[in-house]
């Protein structure tokens, strides 16, 4: 098959073990796709055992759904979950060949994680980040080996969305790029090589649309009207359902990064901030007959 644009001639690094840092929604989904398609052990960590347990139980649920759908036997499901283990101790990454972080979307946190990992992982291991919007170059800047760092950005839901954005920094070496392309193929994803630019390509475009919708929302357009009016565009999911799935705080963070890189064309919604401050995670509620509505308390927060 023809190689996609930008793939270096370097041989990809064989991956015998994968590390995932974090056990949140993206991290757990990543651990699962890596284990499923690479069939290698995947170690996952988070700062609290409770979070690790939550991630592992999410993975078990997803696997049992696949078993229920007849996509794999119960034995295969068990073998798959058996490949994934969790810990609060990052020393489990000592044997990993490829470690991807999906921790909180905050540059200082990501830099701290990479600095810790550098002390643990083997000299040959590749360090990847699933960041949506932060600078991969900056994340690697203070490391002893910035050349092994690469952006490897997936979309939610990971199991279904076909694309992965591979972001190289000016310092990224050939082997991590070749390995990322090879991994993407094994994961049955479509890789594209992007520059290390805020929110790469997809979120830069998607969030521009979302920011405009949120501006209309702050200006008084009803969420129901916005969702309905956009239906003819054939979006796979209503904008406000997408926000709930990605997570309103995550979306807001990405928009803030885009605003600081590209200025006013990215609008940071006051209404969404009010919802975040109040801990509201979705705009829509659903009644017993499956009809969507906005609760009075949510409505009040937005006025």
* 191-210 residues near ligand 3HC, rule: CB under 6 A: 203, 206
When binding is defined by CB under 6 A, the residue of 79, 141, 224, 242 that contacts ligand 3HC is 242
Contact 26, 130 (CB under 8 A): yes
Comparison of 1 and 160: residue with beta carbon closer to ligand 3HC: 160
User: Least separation, in Å, of the C-beta of 124 and ligand 3HC?
Assistant: 28
The position carrying tokens 């509201």 is: 280
User: Least separation, in Å, of the C-beta of 144 and ligand 3HC?
Assistant: 28
Closest CA to 47 of 126, 132, 97, 112: 112
User: Least separation, in Å, of the C-beta of 10 and ligand 3HC?
Assistant: 27
* 258-287 residues near ligand 3HC, rule: CB under 6 A: none
* 96-135 residues near ligand 3HC, rule: CB under 6 A: 132
Distance CA 10, CA 4 (A): 14
Distance CA 208, CA 258 (A): 9
Q: Which residues of 191-203 are buried (b: 16+ CB within 10 A; e: fewer)?
A: bbbbebebbbebb
Closest CA to 143 of 101, 200, 199: 101
When binding is defined by CB under 6 A, the residue of 106, 157, 170, 278 that contacts ligand 3HC is 157
* 159 scored as a contact of ligand 3HC (CB under 6 A): yes
* 236 scored as a contact of ligand 3HC (CB under 6 A): yes
Beta-sheet strands, E only, within 154-248: 163-168, 190-195
Distance CA 247, CA 276 (A): 10
When binding is defined by CB under 6 A, the residue of 42, 80, 166, 250 that contacts ligand 3HC is 250
The alpha helices in 39-99, defined as continuous H runs, are 49-68, 74-83
Strand partners, 44: 20, 86
Which two three-digit tokens encode residue 24?
Answer: 């949140």
Chain Cα centroid distance, residue 4: 23
When binding is defined by CB under 6 A, the residue of 155, 181, 266, 267 that contacts ligand 3HC is 155
Q: Which residues touch 44 (CB under 8 Å, ≥6 apart)?
A: 19, 20, 21, 22, 23, 27, 28, 31, 52, 55, 56, 84, 85, 86, 87
Number of residues interacting with ligand 3HC: please give it, by CB under 6 A: 15
Omega cis (within 30) before 157: yes
Segment near ligand 3HC (CB under 6 A); pick from 134-142, 159-167, 178-186, 269-277: 159-167
Catalytic residues: 153
* 62-91 residues near ligand 3HC, rule: CB under 6 A: none
When binding is defined by CB under 6 A, the residue of 125, 254, 275, 302 that contacts ligand 3HC is 254
* 230 scored as a contact of ligand 3HC (CB under 6 A): no
Comparison of 6 and 157: residue with beta carbon closer to ligand 3HC: 157
Q: For binding to ligand 3HC (CB under 6 A), which residues are involved? A: 132, 155-157, 159-161, 203, 206, 236-237, 242, 246, 250, 254
């Amino acid at each position: 098959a023809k190689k996609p644009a930008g793939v270096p001639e370097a041989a990809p690094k064989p991956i015998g073990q994968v590390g995932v840092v974090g056990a949140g929604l993206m991290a757990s989904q990543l651990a699962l796709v890596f284990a499923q398609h690479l069939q290698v052990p995947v170690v996952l960590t988070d700062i609290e055992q409770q979070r690790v347990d939550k991630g592992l139980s999410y993975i078990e649920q997803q696997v049992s759904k696949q078993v229920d759908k007849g996509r794999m036997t119960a034995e295969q499901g068990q073998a798959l979950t058996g490949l994934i283990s969790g810990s609060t101790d990052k020393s489990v990454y000592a044997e990993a060949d490829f470690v991807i972080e999906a921790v909180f979307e905050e540059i200082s946190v990501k830099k701290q994680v990479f600095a810790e990992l550098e002390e643990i992982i083997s000299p040959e291991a590749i360090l990847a980040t699933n960041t949506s919007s932060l600078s991969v170059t900056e994340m690697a800047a203070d490391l002893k080996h910035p050349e092994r760092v690469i952006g490897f950005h997936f979309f939610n839901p990971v199991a279904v969305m076909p694309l992965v954005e591979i972001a190289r920094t000016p310092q990224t070496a050939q082997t991590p790029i070749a390995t990322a392309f090879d991994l993407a193929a094994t994961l049955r994803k479509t890789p594209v090589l992007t520059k290390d630019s805020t929110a790469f390509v997809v979120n830069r475009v998607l969030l521009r649309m979302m920011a405009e919708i949120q501006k209309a929302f702050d200006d008084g357009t009803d969420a129901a009207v916005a969702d309905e009016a956009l239906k003819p565009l054939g979006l796979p999911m209503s904008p406000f359902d997408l926000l709930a799935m990605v997570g309103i705080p995550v979306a807001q963070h990405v928009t803030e990064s885009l605003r600081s890189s590209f200025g006013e064309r990215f609008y940071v919604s006051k209404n969404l901030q009010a919802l975040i401050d109040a801990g509201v995670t979705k705009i829509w509620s659903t009644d017993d007959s499956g009809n969507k509505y906005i609760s009075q308390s949510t409505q009040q927060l937005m006025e």
